Structure 1
């Protein structure tokens, strides 16, 4: 349980699975149903298998005789031999099973969470309407790649709803991650005592207190970012201000990083000229005010080039929002 909880609290995680069984040479639904019936007693020691309304199944099939994903899911549920119970409280934890059939070998796993781990309950869904909101695990990855014990300040000049800044705050306040709602906490035998030991384990990440400041030109977005930080439990660690890039000044000193997800992509690019100008102006301000700072941005290479900032590592590509932006790091 401790290892599963630790993995599930990693901010960059999207999915954590516990493997339950592996079945080889499965060629029919009847065979799968029989295999599930014979092995489910092992899982019942910690999984609540009394109500099918609490069970979700996701299946994939590759180069297998049994390749109809819905038929696989139905055969699995039939093997569990449970039925819908309307008296079960709707708040009961859900179980999300993943079934992978690859070359007739079926791997059955259960997820520690029924919702993607990159989702962030604190986020206001509508605040970034029409923009490009950043997934929480990508924002966390950006922070992990740029923060270290020598960094004293993190500034995001295009903070939007606060994703990068809030994820940095969550990295500092580790108990927020451990207290996250996870379906695995409803499993039989879950010991809440492991949360304290996981907190101690997370302290090994060796990050000192960091001043975190985010800016956005939209007052409404700034207020929403503040509310998001409140819901995330890090409002006292993060500061949000209204401001445009042209007015940004370095009031913090030398040891810091710029970490940001500035506008990019076709939806935010009015033909290309506006964003090229924005990045050009951003580069001018950063070179003047933040010389010697580190920088990490999720953007497109053509736009990064407009800033004329020295790159220090190979770009890392993501498939996101219909395009493939790069996370690029450098020294200003």
Structure 2
């Protein structure tokens, strides 16, 4: 494509920015919602869509951090070509009036453009100079709540200028005012649940539920609840925004929502009273208090489930919330013992950031999926919990 903006009638070229390790399942989500020409990339997936699908992705996707709409590509071998390319990339008289604030995000490098903050400054200068030529006025910069969010990616002598449709990260659902220590991001939690294949037809339990993120995201998937329906998107103020199409996609998402009586038993245990209350507050903010039960109790004191099959999900501490390694080793040993004794016939999915601690479970993983949790290399481990037997279970990291 040349340096001019894409016409609304042509397919949108977009990029979904994803958690590391969820590129494939993130691509599957894009496909399920109607996107085409999907290519998984590192921490992202590129795609093509029409405008209706692009709106749908914003309203219904659970896994991306951001959804970017490519607007222009141009040659960039340094400061001067970046400046000229930005000024010519879009009809700025239409897209960025001085009454609007904006923000510039940058990834990648080019000769003389090795620091994102410096590159963003060059983009900002090009836009402000263009505005002064047009109006004799300039926009203000707003890093937190801009009217327009621009994303520039530099790679191999080319610059790609995109618009960020949300402005803020899509992982922030709005229900989690209260979180525990080192919380799991909501979109990563949703991706982990998707990887389990749990469809809401069987019970779900988290024996170390913390602030409840895994349970909330799982329930939202099962009941087709879309938290993005309650937020405002920057794309609503874009120059080519189609209000009727947007309203139609909002109605479409609302119609997919299922009543709370469709959910199976969903249960979490948390021994810390304060964190258990945080989980209840988050669940209430998500509108799921009728579905998810939080019990303030140590998992070791919890009764065995009545059901003979279901799914256990767990993100136990691996060095943050509890003390030294010996305490954590004991926690994992006892967790493994309880799961083997009480949850025979269930499937366990456990997020591990420590191989030594995982070995203390004395369970054999059937599947290991690499994921990144806050920059920490982790594994999403799948175990089939068999009925207790007299034979020793082999230890495996």
- Structure 1 pair 15–85 and aligned structure 2 pair: CA distance change class (3 A): closer
State whether structure 2 residue 95 is matched by structure 1 residue 56.
no
Cα distance in 2 for partners of 1:156, 1:323 equals 21
Please tell me the root mean square deviation across aligned C-alpha atoms, in Å. 2.9
Change (3 A) 1:269 1:218: closer
Shift of 1:57: 0.7
SS in structure 2 at match of 1:275: helix
- The match for 1:76 is 123
Deviation at 1:92, TM superposition (A): 7.3
2:362 maps to 1:308: yes
Q: Is the 8 A contact 1:21 1:108 kept in 2?
A: yes
Deviates more, 1:226-235 or 1:3-12: 3-12
Separation of aligned partners in 1, 2:100 and 2:369: 41
Matched, 1:250 2:304: yes
In the alignment, structure 1 residue 155 sits paired with structure 2 residue 219: no
Residue aligning to 2:251: 196
Aligned residue among 285, 289, 292 for 1:231: 285
Task: With the length of structure 2 as denominator, give the TM-score of the two structures.
Answer: 0.72
Distance 2:186 2:93 in 1: 31
Contact 1:258 1:293 in 2 (8 A): yes
CA contact (8 A) 1:4 1:112 kept: no
Aligned residues: 318
What is the CA–CA distance in structure 1 between the aligned matches of 2:263 and 2:207, rounded to whole Å? 20
Q: Which runs of 5+ in 1 are unaligned?
A: none
Equivalents in 1 of 2:257, 2:355: separation in Å? 34
Residues 43, 325 of structure 1: CA spacing in aligned structure 2 closer, same or farther, 3 A cutoff?
farther
Please say if residues 36 and 79 of structure 1, whose CA atoms lie closer than 8 Å, have aligned partners that are also in contact.
yes
| CA apart distance, 1:71 | 4.5
CA distance in 1, matches of 2:327, 2:165: 44
Q: Give me the whole-angstrom Cα distance separating, in 2, the residues matched to 1:17 and 1:5.
A: 12
Q: Of the two structures, which has the highest relative contact order with CA contacts closer than 8 Å and spacing of 6 or more?
A: 1
Deviations 1:96-118 (A, max 9, x none): 21111112200111112212222
Q: 1:1-332, aligned counterparts within 5 Å?
A: 1-8=51-58, 9-24=60-75, 26-41=76-91, 44=94, 47=95, 49-51=96-98, 54-80=101-127, 81-82=130-131, 83-84=137-138, 94-125=147-178, 127-128=179-180, 131-149=181-199, 151-181=201-231, 182-187=233-238, 188-190=241-243, 191-198=246-253, 209-265=263-319, 267-268=320-321, 270-299=323-352, 300-313=354-367, 315-321=368-374, 323-332=376-385
